[in-house]
Each structure stands twice: as C-alpha cells, then as structure tokens.
C-alpha cells in the first residue's frame, strides 16, 4: 500500500461501532428503553421517522459480524455497551444483557480480536432521564455503579475501556440545541451536563480500575478550529468556540482546570476536579474534519457562527474533506498539553460516502478509500511531528443508524441492506484489509 506510510508493527488497527446504531433487538432479553428509543419514536425527530429498532440486527448476528471482522484482519474492535441492557431502569442488574456482551467478548477473543469497550455511547436508560438525566448530579453515581457492574463481569477479558463517547456532541447536540436525544434546548446551560459527564468519567475510571481494568481512557470528538478571516471579532469567536468544543472537555481531565471559568460556571463540589482528573492510560480522539468559524451575526443567541466555505470538497453528509486539519488538530493538542497528553488512539475517523451496490453487487466506494488514505497520511505527519499515536479505529465497521439522519448516511466499510440484512464488504473493506496485512507484514 504505497499510498499510506508504514506505521510500525505495534500500531493498532481497528474498527468502531456503537450499540444503538447497530444492535437492534430493543426489547430483547429484558433491555429497557433508552433516550434514543424515545427520541427516534417522536415524530419529526429523525429523518423519515427512522428508528434503531432493527438497525443492523447485530444483537442476533454478532457471530457473523465478528467473523467478517476477522476476515478484515483488524487487531481490535471498539464497540459500546448498551446501558439499558445492563440496567433497564438505571439500577440493578439484568444478567441476560451481561450475557450478551460475555458472548461477544469471548467470540472476539476466539478470533484474535482485542475487545475494546465503550461504557456509554449516548443511550442512557430512559428511567434515569425521567429523574433529570444528565442534568441531575445523581446520574454520576448511577454511572459509577454501572461501570462497576460491567467491569466486574468483563474486565478480565476486555483489553481497553473507553468511559464516555463524545461528551461534546452529547452535550451540545443533545442538550444544547436539541437535535439529538434527549432533545433538550438548554443553550449554554448544557455545560452543567458536560460537567456531570466529566465527573461520571472520573468515577467510572475509579470503578473500572477497582474491578481490575488496566487500560482506561475517554473518547471525545476534537476538531481544528479555523477562523474564516483574521478580523478581531472572528478571532475572538474562534477562540471561544475552541474553549467550548475542545478545551472544556479535555482541560479538566488532563490539567484539572475548568477553562470556561467566568464565562460558563457549572455547579461543582470541591472534590470534583480531583475525581475528573484521575490519571488515564490513553486519550481516544474522534475526528472527521476541521471547523470554520465566523463572528456571530447580529442578534445571534450564540457568540460564534459555524460556517461551510464554498470551493471545498465535501462528503455526502456535507462535511469538508481537509486531511491537513487532522494533522494540525493533533499537533495543536501536543503543543497545548505537552507531557500531560497521554498516548492517543484515533477511535473514530471516516466519512459518509453513500455508494450503492452496482448491477454486479459490488460497492465501489473509491471516495472512502481516498479519504482514509489521505487521513492516514495526515496522521503519520502528526506522528512525525512528535504526537504519540498508538492506533487507528475506522468509523465504521458497517453502515448503521446515523442518529437524527436515520439510515440516509453510510459510513461503513461493510454495506448493509437494511431490508434483508445482507452484509456486502465494500471496495474500501478489501482495501483496508490489504492495508492492514501490508502494515503487519502479512502475505
């Protein structure tokens, strides 16, 4: 694979998914409803009224899916555990839910794939939402209990643990502007939700370590912030966006500080930052594109404007394709945090390229191949500049329920026919398999 630099024999190659996006079986084996079940069944919330009721039926088809991952040749699989399968009402234990992840983990190990589990990828038990959800500080103790329950069952076999996924997106889209579950429009008051997620992260780190987990860290979305021009107003807006989007979700963990002090001040207790800043073994970074920022227009309720310049290449979701932003985002993190920055795992990177099977059943998604190759080259540039990156998980292993966009956007290396549940490895799947084999020195 001459178009991708060599990353070394110890570099980790993987794929990622999330429970609500692929599992289906939303009422199987005692699973309780989640906030995404309620949200997706609320008219007007998702494109076409799509829900995750069936998704990719991974709950029943996981054996075939793991066999396909083994054929892909990945070292590791990052999946998320559905909290309402384990604690349908937010407490107690549903053993059948734990049994499923037991089977999944054992199947992965049988195929030589390292289980890499995320405790929370946005599907809170609906019962906890009724008690205030992530606005209620009590959820942090509920989450710690959940982490303990799962860790006690699986920590002996799960290689690495991710606490919460993309606290920034869950905060801003789910609680700030309401376009994701639970659909709240709190504006900047949503930063209290952010604080509770950070605190839940710290408590989960403690609970997982007590259960025997050895490798633990968060996974968050980060972006390079690009001012659209160099006017003072735009530069101020971009700096504030960087604080809200990037630093608010990382400074507390890595430096024990709250970067929005005096701007947005959540209700906190004295020991919170000490818990939040529990040492972690790695930092999971999800990143897809840089974000352009302009000064807020007159009368705006938000003090910055997220813009999409003309003349760029975009994927089918409308996200710009700018690999150099991937490099710079990572270099910026290294420069900002220095020795406080732990080793990095790229836990999500990919794009929506919606090619369908041709008459012969082949999915020719060359655009995904080009995107991935360019971003891997950009990743290698960051590593050459001194950023310690240990692995790359492609998003996603297969097409899935893409949240508010329903089934309209396809991120997968594997095509899913949602009517028949047939899996079709795309051209990108075969390319990634050849890439991994070449990187590992396999024939």
Report the catalytic residues: 166, 348
Which token pair is 363? 């999915």
In angstroms, rounded to a whole number, what is the distance separating the alpha carbons of residues 212 and 152? 8
Q: Which contacts qualify for 305-309: CB closer than 8 Å, 24 or more apart?
A: 305/237, 306/241, 307/228, 309/228
Q: Which two structure tokens, joined as six digits, stand for 106? A: 């054992």
Query: Measured between alpha carbons, how far is 149 from 400 in angstroms, rounded to an integer?
Result: 28
CA atoms of 432 and 371, how far apart (whole Å):
12
From residue 73, alpha-carbon distances to 102, 116, 134, 219, 414 in Å are 22, 15, 38, 23, 14
Integer angstrom CA distances of residue 180 from 44, 153, 211: 12, 31, 32
Cβ atoms of 231 and 359 within 8 Å: the answer is no
Residues 6+ apart with CB under 8 A from 300: none
Specify whether the CB–CB gap between 380 and 7 falls below 8 A: yes
CB 340 within 8 A of CB 252: no
| Token pair for 159 | 């290689």
CA 145 centroid distance within chain: 22
CB atoms within 10 A of CB 321: 17
Query: How does DSSP assign 202-236, residue by residue?
Result: HHHHHHHHHTT---EEEEEE---EEESS--HHHHH
Q: In the numeric block, which tokens belong to residue 123? A: 């599907």
Q: Are 37 and 399 in contact (CB under 8 A)?
A: no
- Mapped onto helix, strand or coil, the DSSP state of residue 304 is coil
- Please provide residue 162's backbone torsions phi and psi, each rounded to the nearest 5 degrees: -110, 130
Strand 76-80 relative to strand 114-120, pairing: parallel
Q: Where are the alpha helices (DSSP H) in 124-250?
A: 126-129, 138-154, 167-171, 191-210, 232-245
């Amino acid at each position: 694979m001459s178009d991708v630099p060599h990353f070394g024999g110890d570099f980790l190659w993987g794929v990622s998914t999330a429970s609500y996006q692929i599992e289906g079986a939303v009422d199987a084996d005692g699973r309780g409803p989640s906030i995404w079940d309620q949200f997706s069944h609320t008219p007007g919330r998702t494109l076409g009224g799509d829900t995750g009721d069936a998704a990719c039926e991974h709950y029943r088809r996981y054996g075939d899916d793991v066999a396909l991952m083994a054929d892909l040749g990945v070292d590791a699989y990052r999946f998320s555990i559905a909290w309402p399968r384990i604690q349908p009402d937010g407490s107690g234990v549903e053993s059948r839910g734990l049994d499923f992840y037991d089977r999944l983990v054992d199947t992965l190990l049988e195929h030589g794939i390292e289980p890499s589990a995320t405790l929370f990828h946005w599907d809170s038990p609906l019962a906890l939402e009724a008690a205030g959800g992530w606005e209620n500080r009590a959820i942090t103790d509920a989450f710690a209990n959940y982490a303990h329950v799962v860790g006690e069952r699986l920590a002996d076999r799960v290689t690495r643990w991710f606490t919460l996924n993309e606290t920034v997106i869950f905060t801003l889209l789910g609680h700030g502007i309401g376009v994701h579950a639970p659909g709240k429009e709190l504006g900047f008051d949503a930063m209290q939700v952010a604080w509770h997620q950070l605190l839940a992260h710290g408590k989960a780190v403690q609970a997982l370590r007590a259960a025997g987990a050895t490798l633990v860290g968060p996974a968050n979305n980060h972006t390079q912030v690009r001012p659209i021009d160099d006017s003072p107003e735009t530069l101020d807006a971009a700096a504030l966006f960087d604080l809200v989007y990037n630093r608010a979700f990382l400074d507390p963990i890595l430096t024990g500080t709250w970067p929005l002090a005096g701007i947005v001040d959540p209700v906190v207790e004295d020991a919170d930052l000490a818990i939040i800043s529990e040492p972690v073994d790695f930092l999971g970074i999800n990143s897809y594109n840089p974000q352009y920022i302009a000064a807020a227009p007159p009368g705006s309720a938000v003090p910055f404007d997220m813009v999409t310049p003309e003349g760029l290449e975009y994927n089918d979701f409308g996200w710009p394709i700018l690999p150099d932003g991937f490099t710079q985002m990572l270099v910026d993190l290294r420069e900002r945090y220095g020795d406080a920055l732990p080793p990095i795992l790229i836990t999500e990177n990919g794009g929506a390229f919606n090619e369908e099977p041709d008459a012969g059943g082949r999915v020719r998604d060359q655009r995904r191949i080009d995107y991935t190759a360019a971003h891997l080259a950009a990743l290698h540039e960051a590593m050459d500049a001194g950023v310690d990156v240990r692995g790359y998980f492609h998003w996603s292993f297969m097409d899935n329920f893409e949240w508010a966009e329903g089934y309209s956007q396809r991120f997968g290396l594997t095509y899913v026919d949602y009517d028949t549940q047939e899996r079709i490895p795309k051209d990108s799947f075969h390319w990634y398999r050849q890439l991994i084999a070449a990187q590992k020195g396999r024939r």
